[in-house]
Each structure stands twice: as structure tokens, then as C-alpha cells.
Structure 1
Amino acid sequence: MRLYPHSFSPISFHFAQSPRDFIVQEIPLYEWSDQGEHLILQIRKKGLSTQEMIKILCQVIGCKTKEVGYAGLKDKNALTTQYISLPYSLYAKVIASQDTLASKNIKILSFARHHNKIRIGHLKGNAFFIRLKKVMPHDLCKLESIMQKISIEGIPNYFGFQRFGKFGDNFLEGKQIIDGSKKIRDRQLSEFLISSYQSHLFNQWLAHRIKLCKILQAFSPKDAHMALGDQFHLTISAQEIKLLAQQPHFFKIFQGDALHHYPYGKLFFAQDANMQDAQRFIQKDISPCGLLYGKKTTLPTDLALHLQMPFIDPKIGAIGSYRFAWVFPQKLKYHYIPQKAHLELSFELPKGSYATILLEALCNHEIKGGDDV
């Protein structure tokens, strides 16, 4: 269960992932050099996943999927714009195929050249436009207030429902693969399911930490000391709890936490729960990170490791990494249309973050996919 920091009654509205109401535009990591052996295409697709788009593209122009470079996967049920790379030798075939591709909901918006093939992760982030429907006027003030808080404080960086399949349970297959009770010959599918299990553990850890922070926010140091001992089995003094509660951000930094310069930079670990790191966090200079457990990852230490341990499966043999626990949406704007009860949102998120998680933070409950929220 995904938890959110703000305590208010859930808000309902209608959100449908459709090309009309959900628009995504990729923000490239760097400018194209206009020189080199790679052709860069800015592509707008509708009603297609990135993999489906690539398959059609390869069939039409006659190239292999391994020749196509892309930075990230984009939603199927949306109007999305992203960049892909191809060998420049295919330029003439691409030009000749534009009308055929357009008939299949793939439109080429621009051409460029670059020295390097686009690789996974080679993007700064994504810009979103979302139209929410059935937003009642009496909920608008509440939504405006939470959007102001989100602009300042950011949101938890959960993996969204899209990560876990149609029924939200593909991580269970990943766990079965790890446990040895299930074998899948398709290596790519097996790796995807295992990474889904890693994502599930991350989400569980993040919800656990948010629950802890809610206790620190709601209780006196004395009562919080008792609750943290009972529920989290933390060996921590009342004075340490008081210092944690004084940190300006809702999400508290614990000794041993993995921290990362935001949005780019190096990973480092908190030596103690000091106010300097907490100030840098509220100023959006750094952000705490959660573990996607696997090989070749350095574990957090001290209290942070104690809180991480329930969400580590030592049988995972995949490569591990760290992920921002908290992100800060940029350029968050909204426009309300009272005649239609529509709320139009636009914002930017760093790579790997989900727009639907921002919507969950707004409505204060999980979105499973589909229509009414």
C-alpha cells in the first residue's frame, strides 16, 4: 500500500489515460551535435507502447531492433513524444517511409544527427499534460493547497501501478523466479519480472518510512519514542527523536541514509541525522535514496540499514542500484474550467518518475489504473 505524507480526506476525480487527456514529452539530456553517424528522430506516437512503435518502425524501414536506440519507455495510452536513434545510413528510407508511419500513428517531428547512439537513461525527464475530469468546485481549494505544498516539498518517488502489470501482481512472478519455483526461458521477460520485484520492495520500504515520518510528525518525542520502539524496533533516544522531528522536511533523514545530489551528482551516505543535510534536502540540493537491492550495491548503514533490512531479499542476483525516495516536480501549473469541471495540469518530473504518483499525492490514495480515481 502506497502512503502519502498529507493527512486529508481522499479526493475523487475522473482520470483516463488517453491520447486526449494524457500527453508526455521527453526532455533530452543534452543537445544534439548535428554531426556524427547516428540519425536522431523526434517521434510522436499515439496508442502505442515504445516497443510496439519500434517494432512497426523496423518493419516499415527494414532495420533491426538492436539498431534502434531510445532513452526510456513511454505510456501506450497517451500521446507521447520521444527521441530515438538509428544509423544515419537509414536516412533515405526514413524519409520515404514518413507517410506509411504516419498512417500507423507514428509521426516524425524532427531530424538531427549525433555522435552517440541514444541509450536507456539518456534523458533529463519528462513534461506532462494531464486533464482531470469531474473535479468538483468544493475540492478545488483543497487541490490548490496540496499543489502548493507539492511545489515546495515534492512527492514520494514510488513506482506507479504501470510497473506491476495489468493485475498489479507481476512482482510475484519475479519473486518466484528468485526463489527458484518458476523458470522463464525469455531472458528479457525474466529480468523485467525480477526488476518488478525489486520495485515492489522499494515501494514497501518507502511506505514504511513514510509511516515512520507520520509518527514523528503527529506525536510528542516521548510518545514517538514509544511508538518507534514498538512498531519499528528502533533503538533510538528521545533526544535523537526530537532532533529528527525538528528537520524541516516531512521525510526525515536518518543516520546511514543514502543521499544523492539532486537532480544529478554523486551518491553519499549520511554520517548522522544532522541539520545541514536536512536543510540541503528542503532546498532541493540533495534527496534521500532507497535501495533497489541486488549485486554490486553498497548498503546503507546504522539506523537506515535497520529500516532497510525487512525489504532486502538476499537471493536477488540482479544488479542493484539506488533510486530517489523523493522528487520535486518542476513547473507545476494548473487551469480549472468550471463549466466542464476539468482541471488541466502541466508539470515536469525527473526520469523514472511517474505522473500518476503525483496524482495519487493529490487525491491521497492509490490509483489502480482505469477511470474514476
Structure 2
Amino acid sequence: MTLSAFDFESLARVNPAALSHRCRIRQTPEDFKVEEKLPFEPAGSGPHVMLQITKTDTNTDWLAKELAQFAGVDEVAIGYAGLKDRHAVTTQWFSVNTEGVAEPDWSAFESDLIKINLITRHNKKLKRGALSGNSFKLNLEVLDGDRDSWESALSQIQKQGVPNYFGEQRFGYQMGNLHGVEQWFEQGRKPKSRNKKSLYLSAARSWLFNLVVSERVKAQNWNQFIPGDVMQLNGNHSCFQSENDDTELFERLKTFDIHPTGALAGQGELQSHDECKQLETAVLDAWQAWVQGLSRQGLKQERRALRLVPTEFNWQWHNSRLQLTFFLPSGCFATAVLREMAVVEDSSERIIQADRESV
């Protein structure tokens, strides 16, 4: 399979009316605010300084390197839970192992774009993925679509959630990570750097999952039980199989206590059965070079919820501008929410293109 047929916008939407809505986001970094939520409270003591930092228009990796240089420690001494958008105002935690060095005056690290909100200590390095989720506050400029239609789309998201697609940012600029996967798995051109290898593996599995989700959306059962489904408990990764679509299962689905899942490709047999397995097999068979490539790299079969339910979901109108607030669990994408309400024009993409052309 080549990427000539690849089109992120072709992934199915639940709400067709979203295609008649258009909006613009990220005209300024302040239009896209994210605040990271940890699943624990810092211990208050220990060898690792914990810094809660609000950064504006700043790359997470770059900031981690700057912290290491400022503190006089190796880059490996810096920890953070997740990458955050550059073209945004984001609040996240960093840990700095200061064992063997004098702790600096952290206030001297601040600038117009970097503010330190809290300083405490912890007994462990902050590891990737160690967060419960992110709170979002987004400002959208509505370009097309009447307000009643927008209200209907917003209410639908609030009531039933959205397909849990991996966002476009997972695939790199102009889907570059997927082109890298194609060259690796189909042409034998293995990436040289460890970082690119990791990015490509993640992108490949995410794309295949998105295709499975899209098929379930087309079949109108992305949020329903079908025979052979593997269900996931809300709020964690525990999965189980159910033989029957009984009353209890229906109620648990209705109240978002459980969600149907889709395959994250890797070694071993699909965990699904019957109708669900047939659907997933039909999707993945067209991408066997990718499935086999993931398997050879040691990735194991896993499951991911097909449905994403944003919590604390609210909105306010300010003339033609719409302000959204919501919370998403770790590993979920705000863009998955936005694409169910409109075709989104991201102003930051023009900035990225200009940066690349200036190099």
C-alpha cells in the first residue's frame, strides 16, 4: 500500500454537518491554551526539582535542553510527561535532577515567553506519559455555518463524544512520518536515528488504528457493541470481552462506563472475534507490509478506545468567536474533537511553512 491514496480528511465523520462549518484556530498562541494535569501530587522532597512552567510559542524539547544548560546538568536529568504544542500557551511540569550540583535561582530562567508558576520537589524523575490528561481552552473564529447548526454539533459532542482518532500532529508535517514508514516498511530504507524510528512506529500504528475507527464510523457502530468486540473500562486500559449485547452492557455503554476498542497493530493475533475481527482484518489486510513491519519491531497487539468523551465540555459565544473548554485523558487529541464540529483552518501551519522556507 502506498500513500498516494492517503488523505486524513477522508477519515469518516459522525456529523456530516461539520463539513459545512469552517473555523480558524491559533491566530495567536493565546487562542490555544493547554494545562497538563498530573495523576499525583509531588512529594515535596527528594532529589528532583519539580517546575510547573507556562510557556508561550515554545517547543517542549527545546525548553528541556535549555533547562539542562541553565541548571548545569545533563539532558537526561530533565523529565517531562508529554510534548505540548509549540504554537500555543501551555502549562506543564518538568523535573530536574539536581543531585551533585548547586540549585540555581530559577527566577533567572524566566522570560517573556517562560513563566515558572510552582517550584517543589519529588523523589522520582517525571517520565513520559505520566499524566492524567490535559485541560483545553480554545478560541475559534467561526467563518462558515449558522449558529443553530454549530449549537447542534456542539450538543452532539457533549452527549455522545467523538471518534478517538489520533490527531494529524502524530503524523508530522505534511504526513512526513508516514512517508518515512512507507520508505522503511515497503522500500527497506530503515531510519538512521533512534528518534525517527520511534516516531515512524508510532505514526504507523496510529494511522492503521485511524483506518479501523473510520470503518466503524462508516458502519455507524463506533460507539456500539458488535459481536466479538473488546471493551475498555473508562479511565484506564483494562479490557474485557463480552459475548452478548445485554441490557447491562448497553447501559454501561450509554453512561460512558465502557467503550468499544480498535486494534493497535503488533505481534500476535487480533484480540477481537466474530464481526469485529472480520472488520479489523479487512482493514489491516490492505496494509500487511506495515502490520508485519510493526510486528518485526517487537510491538505487541494492544487495544485503544474507539470513543473519546471530552469532560467539562462547555462553550461560549463572543460574536463570531467561539470559546471552548474541555478536558481530555492522556493520549487523546483536541483535533479529534474539533473535526467533529468543523473543517478547521490552523493558522500555525502558515508559520511552520514560513519557518521551513526560511531555512
Q: Distance in 2 between matches of 1:276 and 1:58?
A: 52
Instruction: Give the letter for the 2:284 counterpart.
Output: F
Task: For residue 366 of structure 1, report the CA deviation from its aligned partner.
Answer: 6.6
After superposition, the C-alpha distances for 1:218-266 in whole angstroms (9 at most, x for unaligned) are xxxxxxxxxxxxxxxxxxxxxxxxxxxxxxxx62222222211101251
Q: Aligned in 2, Cα 1:143/1:318: closer, same or farther, shift over 3 Å? A: farther
Structure 1 segments of 4+ aligned residues over 4 angstroms from their partners: 365-372
Q: Quote the offset at 1:92 in angstroms.
A: 4.8
Counterpart for residue 179 of structure 2? 172
Change (3 A) 1:296 1:85: farther
| 1:146 match | 153
Pick from 256, 264, 272 the counterpart of residue 236 of structure 2: 264
> What's the offset of the Cα at 1:295?
3.2
Could you tell me how far 1:329 is from its partner in structure 2? 0.5
What is the match of residue 5 of structure 2? none
The 2-side partners of 1:297 and 1:26 are apart by: 35
Aligned to 2:6: none
Structure 1 residues 17 and 76: CA distance shift in structure 2, 3 A: farther
TM-score, length-scaled by structure 2: 0.84
Which position in structure 1 is the counterpart of 2:16? 7
SS at match of 2:68: helix
What does the per-residue CA deviation read over 1:52-77, in whole Å, with 9 as the maximum and x for residues that have no partner? 11112112222222111211111111
- RMSD of aligned C-alpha atoms? 2.4
SS in 2 for 1:34: coil
Aligned residues with identical type, % of pairs: 28
Unpaired runs of 5+ residues, structure 2, are 1-9, 286-290, 351-359
- Of 17-26 and 310-319, the range deviating more from structure 2: 310-319
Instruction: Report the CA distance shift for 1:368/1:177 in structure 2 as closer, same or farther (over 3 A).
Output: farther
Counterparts in 2 of 1:344 and 1:121: CA distance versus 1, 3 Å: same
CA contact (8 A) 2:164 2:306 kept: yes
What's the secondary structure of 1:36's corresponding residue?
A: coil
Residue-by-residue CA offset, 1:181-227 (whole Å, 9 max, x unaligned): 212210121121121011111111111111011xx7xxxxxxxxxxx
Cα distance in 1 for residues equivalent to 2:260 and 2:94: 31
Distance verdict in 2 for CA 1:371–1:188, change over 3 Å: closer
Q: Does 1:130 align with 2:111?
A: no
The number of residues matched between the two structures is 331
Residue 80 of structure 1 aligns to a residue in which SS? strand
Counterpart residue number, 1:98: 107
Supply the AA of the counterpart residue of 2:240: F
> Normalising to structure 1: TM-score of the pair?
0.81
Is residue 16–residue 371 contact of structure 1 (8 Å, CA) maintained in 2?
no
Distance 1:366 1:343, change over 3 A: closer
2:326 equivalent to 1:353: no
Moved more, 291-300 or 141-150: 291-300
Instruction: Report 1:1-373 matches (<5 A).
Output: 1-8=10-17, 9-16=19-26, 18-89=28-99, 92-94=102-104, 96-99=105-108, 101-103=109-111, 105-135=113-143, 139-179=146-186, 181-213=188-220, 251-264=223-236, 266-295=238-267, 299-309=271-281, 310-311=283-284, 313-316=291-294, 317-320=297-300, 321-338=302-319, 341-363=320-342, 365=343, 370=348
Alignment-mate amino acid for residue 315 of structure 1: G
